[in-house]
Amino acid sequence: MPRRKLNQLPWWLMLVALIAVGFIYSFHEFGWEGIGPELVGVAIGVPLVLSVFDAASAHFLRTCRSGVIPEHWPSRAHSTSKPRELQRLERRILRMVKVAFAALVAAAALVALPAASAKDFKPGDIRICNADHCRAVVNRRVLALLAAFYYDDRSAPVRASRPRLGQPYYKLRYPNGYVTGIVATGRLDRFLSYGVFLGRFARYRWYKIPTVASQEFRRLTVGLRPLRLTRKAIAKSH
């Protein structure tokens, strides 16, 4: 069986492949948190848009081949007889346009997928600290998640129950010494803001840290003695 050329493959097959690449990339870079509503919307919406495009293109070709030109088209009727070569050329052009359109839409979607936030963290921009020492967060996947957690206003942070007093906690600092908030519990999966983004985080409210980030925090704090949660630490929230 002869191999099919790229522009002879069904456009929907190429689209499915592109969307699959988007899912794999988002999962690899951001874990399950990266499979957000934007990506699901792309997976559902792009095929619908292309289906409409496909139907409109087919209707246009049928109209041209029939020689029947709608009244609102300011052109003369064309001959109903067309060489077979011209018909094959039309089909080839239409197929290539479909593939190009699918690729452009999918590429635009993939560019916008990784939840572009108002701020991007670079390695070392966030540090997890006890009273005396800090360790820098350098994992880019975790930094991207934290940037989205702090600043992405397209999705609200998930609230969590308040940890008990005496639970372990660490401070999250910027390089200039500013403390953005604290992460607490033995799993380091709850966050209390110290004013990092007013209006996004409520005072005295605890929020769930992205799973991948809490795992990285636990890894970084091995051997780093934790602080113990007190009312004074909670009172700094604003």
For residue 70, the model assigns a pLDDT of 53
% of the chain residues with pLDDT over 90: 44
Give residue-wise pLDDT tens across range 184-210. 999 999 999 999 887 899 999 999 999
The residue with greater pLDDT, 71 or 167, is: 167
Give the span between the Cα atoms of 13 and 9, in whole angstroms.
7
**pTM across the whole model:** 0.54
Local structure of 87: helix, strand or coil: helix
Least Cα distance to 227 among 187, 169, 186 occurs for 169
Give the span between the Cα atoms of 50 and 196, in whole angstroms.
42
Residue 56 burial by CB count (10 A; 0-12/13-18/19+): exposed, middle or buried?
Answer: exposed
Give residue-wise pLDDT tens across range 89-144. 667 666 666 666 666 655 555 544 444 434 789 999 999 999 999 999 999 999 99
The residue with greater pLDDT, 67 or 77, is: 67
For residue 110, the model assigns a pLDDT of 52
The pair phi, psi for residue 207, each rounded to 5°, is -130, 150
